[in-house]
Amino acid sequence: MSSAYIGRLAPSPTGALHLGNARTFMIAWLRARSQGGRLVFRMEDLDHPRDKPGAAAAAVEDLKWLGFDWDEAFVQSERKDLYRDALERLHAAGCVYPCTCSRKDVENAQSAPHAGEQLFYPGTCRGRFASWAEAADAIAPRTPCWRFRVPDGTVVRFDDVFAGPFEQDVSRTLGDFPVARDAFGAGYTLAVAVDDALMGVTEVVRGDDLLAATPAQILLYRALGYEPPAFCHVPLVVGTDGRRLAKRHGDTRIASYRAAGRTPEQLLGQLAATCGWGDGSPVSLRDLLPRFTLETIPHAPAVWTDPAALPAMS
Ligand code: GLU
Ligand code: ZN
């Protein structure tokens, strides 16, 4: 049973890999390998305005340097036909419709100040256009997007392996969420659901910044006729100010530690200590296998206590 486990490592090439990313990947890798499971590597490079040239190759180099391996590798930008097929299936099933609203329109339609990244969409364009072409004509030269219809009272519940029971009424939090930014260009949410299903991923281990985006993904799995995987959302690494690890906390890029002469074992030892797997002494990924357990990982974000660039490693 356990060897049927398939996990994944899915970096986005939007910047250099830092300690926070490495910690999440370390947990995902150990979770799969400690039960004899397989791992797919997936480069999530569909976010063109934010993707940085060279970041994809650099992420692979950083991960290999740290000792990560995987059984198969995929690049999302080479899989657009699959996302287009999925979009066509959703369209044929009446699950999506074209929307001509600009970001400003959607922002103006918010009834309450919005905290998260995704805006609530009140369904303005539902039933408004008979076809994509009609919507496209109406706002040329701008391009409509495709939105997924979320009927009132669509409550999604799932039991997160790490975070526990989670419930969200998607019709109230997101409304009809976008699945493609133009006629065929699948966005992140759709691509992830299609890929996890086609790659046979049985469990998604990732940062808990994506916990609230999971119910929308689950709706897509269901609409496409796929069984959703299990989800295991782990806390992010934050600085001493409680904010997500970023440039302001100093240089925590893996490549910078490597350039400064740190070893993978030093970094992994420190990260493992934040998971309750040892005292911070240097250790390889493989040597962590027998220590791996989700039980000791704190539910609060991991605080990187020395925010100065390149803190001293033991
Ligand atoms: N590529 C996404 C990120 O780096 C993660 C997506 C996922 O794990 O589902 O934020
Ligand atoms: Zn609209």
The whole-number pLDDT of residue 242 equals: 87
Ligand 1 mean position, distance from CA 295 (Å): 23
The whole-number pLDDT of residue 3 equals: 64
Ligand 2 mean position, distance from CA 186 (Å): 17
The whole-number pLDDT of residue 313 equals: 41
Whether 233 lines ligand 1, by a CB cut-off of 6 Å, is no
The whole-number pLDDT of residue 310 equals: 53
The whole-number pLDDT of residue 308 equals: 38
What would the two tokens of residue 300 be? 């609060």
The whole-number pLDDT of residue 275 equals: 97
Is residue 19 within 8 A of residue 78, CB to CB? The reply is no
Whether 206 lines ligand 1, by a CB cut-off of 6 Å, is yes
Is residue 72 within 8 A of residue 47, CB to CB? The reply is no
Ligand 1 mean position, distance from CA 209 (Å): 9
Is residue 142 within 8 A of residue 104, CB to CB? The reply is no
- CA–CA separation, 43 vs 266, rounded Å? 26
Q: Whose CA is nearest to atom 10 of ligand 1?
A: 12
Average pLDDT per run of 10 along the chain, which is 314 residues long? 84 92 97 97 87 92 98 96 95 96 88 69 95 94 95 98 98 94 81 97 97 96 97 94 82 91 94 94 97 97 67 42
Find the helix or strand (DSSP H, E) in which 267 lies: helix 264-273
Ligand 1 mean position, distance from CA 206 (Å): 7
Closest ligand 1 atom to 8 CA: 8
Whether 12 lines ligand 1, by a CB cut-off of 6 Å, is yes
The whole-number pLDDT of residue 54 equals: 92
Whether 192 lines ligand 1, by a CB cut-off of 6 Å, is yes
Is residue 154 within 8 A of residue 219, CB to CB? The reply is yes
Best residue for ligand 1 mutational test, from 47, 210, 231 (most atoms within 8 Å of Cβ): 210
